[in-house]
Amino acid sequence: MIKIYIIIFLGLASFQAVCQNEVDVTEVMCWGRICELTEKQLNKCGPIKLAFATSSSEAEQLANEDIANGTIFLLLAGGISPTIIATDAAFERKYDIYFNEFGCTGPEYELVTAYNSVVFEYLTQQYGKGWYKEIRKDVVGLKDWKKKD
């Protein structure tokens, strides 16, 4: 029982230390790892803008901008509580992307699918088809995209 209290205490202490960081870098928990993204990167990333997109071509453009900026996301639809899979962190590091779950509400399915399709193409161009076997299977649009491939 004491081990549990120690783990909780250390976890809260490290969380507080991260929150008190005053550097111009916002540390955000992106699934299994701490991502260091600047506030500018976070505010200009595609997932934030996707909520205001009105067409698939606009969603694709947002994905292309994220690729050009080096802040690439794979978008997930979720529920009340996020689903974290043990292999997420390794996948994110290996392929230099970030998983982003919208939760209960988010952009329209077709917009998320269009965004992710561009990222799937990018991953295939950069890494071949090996990422297929490593990616989590609930990424929005993955099944449909694989059928086209």
pLDDT in tens, 28-61: 444 444 456 777 777 788 888 998 999 999 999 9
The total of structural domains in the chain comes to 1
Alpha helices in 20-130 (DSSP H): 39-44, 46-50, 56-69, 88-95, 109-127
Any domain includes 1: no
**For the ranges 27-36, 122-131, 134-143, which has the lowest average pLDDT?**
27-36
pLDDT-derived band at 115, boundaries 50, 70, 90: very high
Task: Report strand pairing: 73-76 vs 98-101.
Answer: parallel
Any domain includes 139: yes
Any domain includes 2: no
- What is the pTM for the complete model shown? 0.75
Domain range for 126:
24-148
Any domain includes 93: yes
Any domain includes 120: yes
Do 135 and 94 form a contact (C-beta atoms < 8 A)?
Answer: no
**What is the model's pLDDT at position 2?**
62
* Span 136-143, average pLDDT: 92
Any domain includes 50: yes
